[in-house]
Amino acid sequence: MFQEGGRLLYIGQNEWAHVNCALWSAEVFEDDDGSLKNVHMAVLRGKQLRCEKCQKPGATVGCCLTSCTSNYHFMCARQCHCVFLEDKKVYCPKHRDLIKGEVVSGFEVTRRILVDLEGISLRRKWLAGLEPENVHMMIGSMTIDCLGILTELSDCKRKLFPVGYQCSRVYWSTLDARKRCVYTCRILVCHPPVVENDLKSMIALEENRTIAHSPPPTADFPDPFESPRRSDTLSPTNTPKLRVYTRNRHPSYPPCQRSLGPRPMPSPGGISQPQSHEIVTVGDSLVNPGMRNIDSRRHSS
């Protein structure tokens, strides 16, 4: 039955269907990209219909005559000698005389076909989904570790190679005939190595751009950390003008007269008159050269 029904197609939520069972259902049609539409609608309808031959639910292949209510499983329709036409019309044995068109004799499907999963209503327990790497199964002595995913490179003539597919099995070793070992088969995508000349041409064609996110400096506020150029400092137009400040050599106030002699000590009973205290500095013009020499000797000692 597996060979007659064709390969299994994944229809979502851990459910699978034979390619011919889905392809010959009444409401299913094939799109230009190889995807089958309304497969889930056919599955829901088939759960409510019973087959004319086996009386089991799941019959989705029905007679195209409007007044006929006969429904079959695909393999049951083959056994009952139903007629299958090229335009995907099916007639039951009672109405096979009404056929107009070319009859299909072979049912092998070798082209790429998949089930459209858009618009599928997920059940609550399948809302989280199931990743392909979490699906593990066994076919005889071979263990399927990962189903992989289908890409554009997976479609080959008469075969599908899912990227990431991995299987393993225990078999006799090719190095020692007395031992058995685990053989692992994995499907990967290998890109061709890049030739050095091609790499240089790719680098030469690249365009490098620098994006500055800071605003450009304005002329009114020069950068304090930027040193001026030598041509700017030496140009006569940029030379700043020096301001000359002159001091008045003839002040309007009279100079203070200071005596060089010792100051008189205040008497105990006398009234001291207020005197101005003056500090004589070394650079003062009133200090004679003799006092400067004494101060210099004191500091040197």
What is the reported pLDDT for 97?
A: 81
Cα–Cα distance between 176 and 77 in angstroms, integer? 53
Task: Compute how many other C-beta atoms are within 10 angstroms of the C-beta atom of residue 38.
Answer: 17
Going 196 to 199 to 203 to 204, the CA torsion angle's sign is: positive
Report whether pLDDT(185) > 90.
yes
The H or E element that residue 78 is part of is helix 74-79
Evaluate whether 30 touches 38 at the Cβ level (below 8 Å): no
Using alpha carbons, list the distances in angstroms from residue 135 to 3, 23, 83, 183, 233: 24, 26, 38, 19, 78
Tell if the pTM clears 0.85, that is, is over it.
no
Most confident of 24-33, 254-263, 291-300: 24-33
Mean pLDDT of the chain: 73
According to the model, what pLDDT value does residue 266 have? 53
The domains found in the chain, sorted by start residue, are 2-124 (3.30.40.10), 131-186 (3.30.160.360)
Residue 144 DSSP code? E
pLDDT in tens, 65-118: 888 888 999 999 988 889 898 888 899 988 888 877 788 888 888 888 888 887
